[in-house]
């Protein structure tokens, strides 16, 4: 894998949750007779939106204090659908060198809103943030 492709792949780590929602959820909603969910803001996200969002999310995770909300829009991504988000880090916890935080994302498009809670951790100060799988209850 080339250095450029490897870098691009890393830039999508935080956007993955959104991409999965947009790419998988919309067809699943339709198949499950949940077509009302196809109007979810996740359904309108494109690759460039995910890349832009991932960059904003990394800045929030690295630089913002808990409950310090950052505004994001997809302006400049060439998506005709305007998408906006409020990204808020919460619940910062440290265990030795490991740091974990939740990103609460209020995503808005075409008058619809969805709130996501994305847990992310990094192994140490030099590591990159990675989304965490949620445990089963």
Q: Mean pLDDT lowest for which of 8-12, 54-58, 73-77?
A: 8-12
**Three-state SS for 109?**
strand
Average pLDDT of the chain, as a whole number: 80
Q: DSSP assignment of 6-54, as one string?
A: HHHHHHTTTTHHHHHIIIIIHHHHHHTT-GGGGGSGGGG--HHHHHHHH
Query: Is a pLDDT exceeding 90 seen at residue 34?
Result: no
Q: How many angstroms separate the CA atoms of 79 and 39, rounded?
A: 16
Q: What is the pLDDT of residues 72-105, one digit of tens each?
A: 999 999 999 999 999 999 999 999 999 999 999 9
Query: Is a pLDDT exceeding 50 seen at residue 38?
Result: yes
Domain ranges within the chain, ordered by starting residue = 3-131
């Amino acid at each position: 894998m080339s250095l450029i492709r490897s870098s691009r792949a890393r830039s999508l780590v935080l956007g993955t949750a959104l991409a999965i929602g947009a790419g998988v959820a919309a067809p699943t909603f339709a198949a499950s007779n949940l077509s009302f969910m196809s109007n979810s803001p996740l359904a309108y996200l494109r690759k460039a939106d995910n890349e832009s969002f991932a960059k904003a999310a990394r800045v929030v995770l690295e630089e913002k204090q808990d409950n310090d909300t950052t505004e994001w829009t997809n302006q400049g991504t060439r998506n005709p659908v305007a998408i906006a988000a409020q990204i808020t880090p919460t619940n910062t916890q440290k265990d030795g060198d490991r740091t974990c935080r939740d990103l609460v994302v209020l995503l808005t498009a075409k008058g619809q809103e969805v709130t996501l809670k994305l847990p992310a951790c990094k192994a140490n100060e030099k590591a990159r943030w990675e989304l965490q799988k949620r445990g089963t209850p």
